[in-house]
Amino acid sequence: MNPYQILGISPSASDDEVKKAYRTLSKKYHPDANIGNPHQAEYTEKFKEVQNAYKTIMDERKKGFRQQSYGGQTTGGYQYTGNDQDAYQEAQGFIQGGRYQEALNVLNQIRNKSSMWFYLSAIAENGL
């Protein structure tokens, strides 16, 4: 399921907007706030979904990666910030995860092609 839909926000939402949506829904569905409620079991499950959605979004953002497909919807793309070292680390992570095309997508955004670029590109091409 799309974590952005679960939190009711768009993929372009700021970190503060993500946190605000998370806090609002956490309070609403928290098990301690729904003791004795006839829908307590449903709310507990929804609370777990909200927790997982928030964690997923924030983990992606920490890595600087925002291209995920959730139910056929793409939520953006890797945002190259001009820092080649960060891009190389991102590409290495994709290579280690066997996601060679994503690694190449990141590498192709780098303008200054160093020996590291050629090395990682060769590994990703070989993996494909």
Say which residue, 96 or 120, is predicted with more confidence.
Answer: 120
pTM of the complete model beyond 0.85: no
Give the Cα separation of 6 and 54 in Å (integer): 9
72 vs 106, residue with greater confidence: 106
For 3-74, CATH number? 1.10.287.110
How high is the pLDDT of residue 67? Answer: 46
CA 38 to chain centre: 34
Q: Is 110's pLDDT higher than 50?
A: yes
- Rounded CA-CA distance 56/3 in Å is 7
Of the pLDDT bands very low, low, confident and very high (cuts 50, 70, 90), residue 62 is confident
9-44 pLDDT tens trace: 988 788 899 999 999 999 999 999 988 989 999 999
Residue 30 in tokens: 């928290």
63-87 average pLDDT score = 61
pLDDT digits (tens, 9 = 90+) for 40-61: 999 999 999 999 999 988 887 7
Count the neighbouring beta carbons within 10 Å of the beta carbon of residue 76: 14
Residue 30 Cα distances to 10, 45, 52, 114, angstroms: 23, 10, 14, 51
Position 73 scores a pLDDT of 46
- Domain range list for the chain: 3-74, 84-127
Average pLDDT of the chain, as a whole number? 84
